[in-house]
A = this chain, B = another copy of it.
Amino acid sequence: MAAGVSAPPRAVVEHLVRQAVYQRLGKPLPRIAQAPNPLVVNISARHCHLTQEAVEALFGKGYQLRVLRWLYQEGQFAAQETVTLIGPRSRVISNLRILGPCRSLNQVELAYTDAIALGFDVPLRLSGDIKGTPGCMLMGPAGFYELKEGVIRAARHVHMHPDDAAFYGVRNGDYMRLKVGGDCGVVFEKVLVRVDPAFRLEVHLDTDEGNACNLQPHTPCELVKA
Protein backbone atom coordinates (compact mmCIF):
# COMPACT_ATOMS: atom_id res chain seq x y z
CA MET A 1 0.00 0.00 0.00
CA ALA A 2 1.36 3.43 -0.93
CA ALA A 3 1.56 6.22 1.59
CA GLY A 4 -1.65 8.27 1.44
CA VAL A 5 -1.53 11.95 0.53
CA SER A 6 -4.15 13.61 2.71
CA ALA A 7 -6.21 16.57 1.55
CA PRO A 8 -5.65 19.64 3.74
CA PRO A 9 -8.05 19.78 6.70
CA ARG A 10 -11.19 21.82 6.04
CA ALA A 11 -10.10 24.35 8.69
CA VAL A 12 -6.95 25.09 6.67
CA VAL A 13 -8.91 25.73 3.47
CA GLU A 14 -11.48 27.86 5.29
CA HIS A 15 -8.74 29.97 6.84
CA LEU A 16 -7.16 30.71 3.46
CA VAL A 17 -10.54 31.48 1.87
CA ARG A 18 -11.52 33.76 4.76
CA GLN A 19 -8.30 35.73 4.48
CA ALA A 20 -8.60 36.01 0.68
CA VAL A 21 -12.25 37.14 0.80
CA TYR A 22 -11.64 39.91 3.33
CA GLN A 23 -8.61 41.08 1.37
CA ARG A 24 -10.62 41.14 -1.88
CA LEU A 25 -13.39 43.11 -0.20
CA GLY A 26 -10.80 45.54 1.15
CA LYS A 27 -12.16 45.05 4.64
CA PRO A 28 -10.16 44.67 7.84
CA LEU A 29 -9.61 41.08 8.87
CA PRO A 30 -11.75 39.88 11.80
CA ARG A 31 -9.82 38.62 14.78
CA ILE A 32 -10.08 34.94 13.82
CA ALA A 33 -8.74 35.60 10.31
CA GLN A 34 -5.74 37.44 11.78
CA ALA A 35 -4.51 34.23 13.40
CA PRO A 36 -1.20 33.15 11.94
CA ASN A 37 -2.54 29.63 11.45
CA PRO A 38 -5.90 27.91 11.10
CA LEU A 39 -7.23 25.98 14.09
CA VAL A 40 -7.30 22.29 13.30
CA VAL A 41 -9.12 20.00 15.74
CA ASN A 42 -8.55 16.29 15.24
CA ILE A 43 -9.83 13.20 16.98
CA SER A 44 -7.21 10.62 17.91
CA ALA A 45 -8.74 7.16 18.01
CA ARG A 46 -7.04 4.68 20.37
CA HIS A 47 -3.49 3.99 19.27
CA CYS A 48 -0.01 3.17 20.50
CA HIS A 49 3.51 4.54 20.22
CA LEU A 50 6.24 1.90 20.28
CA THR A 51 10.00 1.63 20.60
CA GLN A 52 11.93 0.00 17.76
CA GLU A 53 12.63 -2.88 20.16
CA ALA A 54 8.90 -3.49 20.66
CA VAL A 55 8.26 -3.27 16.89
CA GLU A 56 10.91 -5.93 16.27
CA ALA A 57 9.49 -8.22 18.99
CA LEU A 58 6.05 -7.90 17.44
CA PHE A 59 6.89 -7.88 13.72
CA GLY A 60 10.35 -9.46 13.43
CA LYS A 61 14.00 -8.52 13.63
CA GLY A 62 14.91 -5.37 11.70
CA TYR A 63 11.27 -4.58 10.92
CA GLN A 64 10.49 -0.98 9.96
CA LEU A 65 7.06 0.64 10.30
CA ARG A 66 5.52 1.63 6.98
CA VAL A 67 3.50 4.81 6.43
CA LEU A 68 -0.24 4.43 5.92
CA ARG A 69 -1.11 8.13 6.21
CA TRP A 70 0.80 11.24 7.24
CA LEU A 71 -0.65 13.08 10.22
CA TYR A 72 -1.00 16.83 10.58
CA GLN A 73 2.07 17.15 12.84
CA GLU A 74 5.18 17.16 10.66
CA GLY A 75 6.83 13.75 10.36
CA GLN A 76 4.17 11.85 12.35
CA PHE A 77 2.28 9.06 10.65
CA ALA A 78 -0.33 6.35 11.11
CA ALA A 79 1.51 3.14 10.34
CA GLN A 80 0.15 0.35 8.21
CA GLU A 81 0.87 -1.94 11.14
CA THR A 82 -1.60 -2.68 13.92
CA VAL A 83 -1.34 -4.87 17.00
CA THR A 84 -3.76 -6.75 19.23
CA LEU A 85 -4.03 -5.44 22.78
CA ILE A 86 -4.84 -7.93 25.52
CA GLY A 87 -6.26 -6.30 28.62
CA PRO A 88 -6.39 -7.30 32.28
CA ARG A 89 -9.55 -9.41 31.93
CA SER A 90 -8.23 -11.13 28.79
CA ARG A 91 -10.48 -8.96 26.70
CA VAL A 92 -8.87 -7.79 23.48
CA ILE A 93 -8.85 -4.91 21.04
CA SER A 94 -7.65 -5.99 17.64
CA ASN A 95 -6.31 -3.57 15.07
CA LEU A 96 -4.85 -1.09 17.53
CA ARG A 97 -3.10 1.32 15.19
CA ILE A 98 0.60 2.12 15.69
CA LEU A 99 1.65 5.73 15.19
CA GLY A 100 5.16 6.33 13.93
CA PRO A 101 7.97 7.04 13.97
CA CYS A 102 9.25 4.90 16.86
CA ARG A 103 9.77 6.63 20.20
CA SER A 104 11.92 6.04 23.24
CA LEU A 105 9.01 4.64 25.26
CA ASN A 106 5.94 2.50 24.72
CA GLN A 107 2.57 4.05 25.32
CA VAL A 108 -1.02 3.01 24.62
CA GLU A 109 -3.65 5.77 24.46
CA LEU A 110 -7.25 4.73 25.03
CA ALA A 111 -10.49 6.62 25.48
CA TYR A 112 -12.32 5.81 28.73
CA THR A 113 -15.01 3.98 26.74
CA ASP A 114 -12.27 1.70 25.36
CA ALA A 115 -10.71 1.28 28.79
CA ILE A 116 -14.02 0.38 30.44
CA ALA A 117 -14.79 -2.15 27.68
CA LEU A 118 -11.38 -3.74 28.25
CA GLY A 119 -11.56 -3.68 32.03
CA PHE A 120 -8.74 -1.19 32.53
CA ASP A 121 -8.72 1.54 35.12
CA VAL A 122 -6.47 3.99 33.29
CA PRO A 123 -5.31 7.37 34.55
CA LEU A 124 -5.49 10.69 32.73
CA ARG A 125 -1.90 11.58 31.83
CA LEU A 126 0.10 13.79 29.54
CA SER A 127 1.80 11.88 26.78
CA GLY A 128 5.15 10.57 28.06
CA ASP A 129 4.16 10.70 31.75
CA ILE A 130 3.54 7.00 32.23
CA LYS A 131 5.18 6.19 35.58
CA GLY A 132 2.91 3.96 37.65
CA THR A 133 0.30 3.48 34.91
CA PRO A 134 -1.05 0.02 34.09
CA GLY A 135 0.64 -2.22 31.53
CA CYS A 136 -0.77 -4.63 29.00
CA MET A 137 0.20 -7.36 26.55
CA LEU A 138 0.54 -6.62 22.84
CA MET A 139 0.44 -9.29 20.17
CA GLY A 140 1.84 -9.01 16.65
CA PRO A 141 2.44 -11.47 13.84
CA ALA A 142 5.95 -12.31 15.13
CA GLY A 143 5.28 -12.48 18.85
CA PHE A 144 4.13 -10.90 22.08
CA TYR A 145 5.50 -7.84 23.84
CA GLU A 146 4.64 -6.95 27.41
CA LEU A 147 4.33 -3.35 28.49
CA LYS A 148 5.03 -3.09 32.21
CA GLU A 149 3.34 0.30 32.17
CA GLY A 150 2.16 2.86 29.61
CA VAL A 151 -1.63 2.55 29.21
CA ILE A 152 -3.16 6.01 29.63
CA ARG A 153 -5.96 8.27 28.63
CA ALA A 154 -4.15 11.18 27.01
CA ALA A 155 -5.06 14.55 28.51
CA ARG A 156 -6.55 16.88 25.92
CA HIS A 157 -3.99 19.29 24.55
CA VAL A 158 -3.18 21.73 21.81
CA HIS A 159 0.05 21.74 19.82
CA MET A 160 1.16 25.19 18.79
CA HIS A 161 3.99 27.09 17.20
CA PRO A 162 5.41 30.06 19.17
CA ASP A 163 3.61 32.37 16.69
CA ASP A 164 0.28 30.84 17.70
CA ALA A 165 1.15 31.11 21.39
CA ALA A 166 1.90 34.82 20.87
CA PHE A 167 -1.40 35.33 19.02
CA TYR A 168 -3.45 33.65 21.75
CA GLY A 169 -1.39 35.17 24.56
CA VAL A 170 -0.47 31.85 26.18
CA ARG A 171 2.68 29.96 27.14
CA ASN A 172 3.74 26.34 27.21
CA GLY A 173 1.97 24.61 30.11
CA ASP A 174 -1.00 27.02 30.21
CA TYR A 175 -4.55 25.78 29.90
CA MET A 176 -7.07 26.97 27.32
CA ARG A 177 -10.70 26.16 26.56
CA LEU A 178 -11.99 24.76 23.31
CA LYS A 179 -15.53 25.80 22.39
CA VAL A 180 -17.22 23.41 20.01
CA GLY A 181 -20.52 24.49 18.43
CA GLY A 182 -23.34 22.53 16.85
CA ASP A 183 -26.42 20.68 18.10
CA CYS A 184 -24.55 19.03 20.95
CA GLY A 185 -21.99 21.73 21.60
CA VAL A 186 -19.45 21.42 24.38
CA VAL A 187 -16.78 23.60 25.97
CA PHE A 188 -13.71 21.56 26.82
CA GLU A 189 -11.88 22.97 29.82
CA LYS A 190 -8.22 22.31 30.63
CA VAL A 191 -6.82 22.01 27.15
CA LEU A 192 -3.07 21.96 27.84
CA VAL A 193 -0.88 24.21 25.69
CA ARG A 194 2.25 22.61 24.24
CA VAL A 195 4.49 25.02 22.35
CA ASP A 196 7.31 23.99 20.03
CA PRO A 197 8.72 25.56 16.85
CA ALA A 198 8.13 22.19 15.14
CA PHE A 199 4.42 22.09 16.01
CA ARG A 200 1.47 23.00 13.81
CA LEU A 201 -1.64 24.40 15.52
CA GLU A 202 -3.79 21.38 16.32
CA VAL A 203 -6.04 20.26 19.17
CA HIS A 204 -6.13 16.55 19.91
CA LEU A 205 -9.32 15.10 21.38
CA ASP A 206 -10.05 11.44 21.98
CA THR A 207 -13.05 9.56 20.57
CA ASP A 208 -15.19 10.08 23.69
CA GLU A 209 -14.63 13.81 23.48
CA GLY A 210 -15.14 13.93 19.71
CA ASN A 211 -18.31 11.85 19.87
CA ALA A 212 -19.72 13.69 22.89
CA CYS A 213 -19.93 16.83 20.72
CA ASN A 214 -20.33 15.05 17.35
CA LEU A 215 -17.26 16.81 15.99
CA GLN A 216 -17.37 16.95 12.18
CA PRO A 217 -15.05 18.71 9.70
CA HIS A 218 -17.53 21.62 9.44
CA THR A 219 -18.22 21.98 13.18
CA PRO A 220 -17.23 25.47 14.36
CA CYS A 221 -14.42 25.43 16.94
CA GLU A 222 -12.83 28.25 18.87
CA LEU A 223 -9.82 28.22 21.15
CA VAL A 224 -9.96 30.73 24.00
CA LYS A 225 -7.67 31.66 26.83
CA ALA A 226 -8.89 30.05 30.08
Contact = CB atoms under 8 A, between A and B. Distances in A.
15 contacts: A112-B212, A112-B214, A113-B113, A113-B208, A155-B183, A155-B184, A156-B184, A184-B188, A185-B189, A186-B187, A187-B189, A206-B212, A207-B208, A208-B208, A212-B212
Contacts of A155: 183-184
Interface in A92-115: 111-113
A211 interface: yes
A198 interface: no
A124 interface: yes
Contacts of A124: 183-184, 214
A225 B185 CA distance: 15
Interface string A183-197: 111111110000000
Contacts of A166: none
A111 B211 CA distance: 8
A222 B213 CA distance: 19
A111 B209 CA distance: 12
Nearest to A207: B113
A116 interface: yes
A124 B208 CA distance: 16
A155 to B, nearest CB: 7
A81 B183 CA distance: 33
Most buried by B among A113, A155, A156: A113
Most buried by B among A112, A185, A186, A188: A186
A218 to B, nearest CB: 15
A178 to B, nearest CB: 10
Interface string A137-168: 00000000000000000011000000000000
Contacts of A116: 211
A186 B184 contact: no
Contacts of A185: 189-190
A209 B209 CA distance: 7
Q: Which 8 A-B pairs have the closest CB atoms?
A: A112-B211, A187-B187, A185-B189, A212-B212, A208-B211, A208-B212, A209-B212, A113-B211
